Amino acid sequence: MRFSSLTFLSLIAAGAIANPLDLRPRATLSSFAGTNAYWLPFLTSDADVAATFSAVQAAGLKVLRTWGFQDSTTCTGVHFQCWASSPSSSTPSINTGSDGLQRLDAVVAAAEKYGVKLVIPFVNNWGDYGGMDVYVSKLGLGSHSEFYTSTKAQEVYMDYVKTLVERYKSSDAILAWQLANEPRCNGCSTSIITTWAASMSAYIKSLDPNKLVSLGDEGFFNRSSSTSYPYQGGEGIDFEENLKITTLDYGIAHMYPSNWGQTYEWGNQWISDHAEACRKAGKSCVIEEYGVPVKGATRDHVVPVALVRRAIDVGVDMFWQFGLTLSTGKSSDDGFTIYTDDSDFQTLVVDWANSR
């Protein structure tokens, strides 16, 4: 999710057989309900991390997606990579200290304890928590697109990926590694991200052949005959072509109808088109983020009924996002958060999870 432009999200799913927590490569994903809590690794209290997973488990949610990145140029607070040197000459240091990957250690340990599986992306497309443009700036590159094509950028990225994968690959808590959160390459040929995704997913599989790997994209199509922005490939994503990558185990799509000039009802076709593409590719797809940015009647109607939970072949979904009260107050409220003390938490989260 891009935090600076939040709107309604809803995604697609298709194909649902086998054990949802089967970690074999190319495994299909069965029906389960999950959630997102991007903020978890940045908590400084182990007790708060444990409280979150306890609440997730109690709600019946099986999988949680959280950030595996924090690229800092100030190198203060919780950060995983420190980019303190001047542009064009710097490579980051990986912070394994108590304000670094030890915070992610606490997340993985709590997930193991409470039986919740994790999806962990390695880098952000957006500027929140660093992201690809920090790589571009600090390595003296010229544009966002060079993150995907620069040998130096990929060496740094792969070094970080290797650190995380080798640190956690023995953990049963990891369901899937994810190349990036919402990778885009505006105005680029879609072959740039497809080539990058094929190369990087193969690299991850070489490090850890026993976990699932996903791209983490928004599911944009590349259909020249369409007049609809999410179908035109302008963001450098070709969902159908990326499904052909053998080292990507399942497909993902995100949806922002308001940002894309679409109605909520438009999402029914978006979902159906993704479901069909996934069936043809013989892969599962995941509703990885969805939600409504207002509490009340609209959320109570749209979340359980329209676009998501009555969609054809929906089997795997992870709502955006989980919230609860911690020792420091409420967890991040981006407008989409459903808190454990919200009046509709039981119906939108618990009852739904228990029905899967």
Residue spans of the domains in the chain: they are: 32-355
Answer whether residue 39 shows pLDDT above 70: yes
Catalytic: which of 146, 218, 235, 289? Answer: 289
pTM above 0.85, yes or no: yes
Give the residue-averaged pLDDT of 70-78.
95
Note if 289 is an active site residue: yes
Asked if residue 81 has a cis previous peptide bond (ω within 30° of 0), the answer is: no
Residue-level pLDDT at 29: 64
Q: How far is residue 130's CA from residue 128's CA, in Å, rounded to a whole number?
A: 5
Closest CA to 78 of 46, 126, 120, 53: 46
Q: How far is residue 129's CA from residue 279's CA, in Å, rounded to a whole number?
A: 35
Q: In CATH, what number does 32-355 get?
A: 3.20.20.80
Give the residue-averaged pLDDT of 171-184.
97
Ordered DSSP codes for 210-260: TSEEE-------B-TT--SGGGB-TTS--HHHHTT-TT--EEEE---TTTT
The Cα angle at residue 256 between residues 248 and 264, in degrees rounded to 5: 120
Least confident span in 28-37, 56-65, 219-228? 28-37
Note if 218 is an active site residue: no
Extract the runs of DSSP E, i.e. beta strands, from the chain.
32-36, 63-65, 71-72, 81-82, 93-94, 117-121, 174-178, 212-214, 250-253, 284-287, 316-319, 322-323, 325-326, 329-330, 338-339
pLDDT digits (tens, 9 = 90+) for 79-135: 999 998 756 557 899 999 999 999 999 999 999 999 999 999 999 999 999 999 999
Give the residue-averaged pLDDT of 209-227.
93
pLDDT digits (tens, 9 = 90+) for 251-306: 998 877 766 777 777 777 887 888 889 889 999 888 788 877 878 887 787 676 54
Catalytic: which of 146, 182, 218, 288? Answer: 182
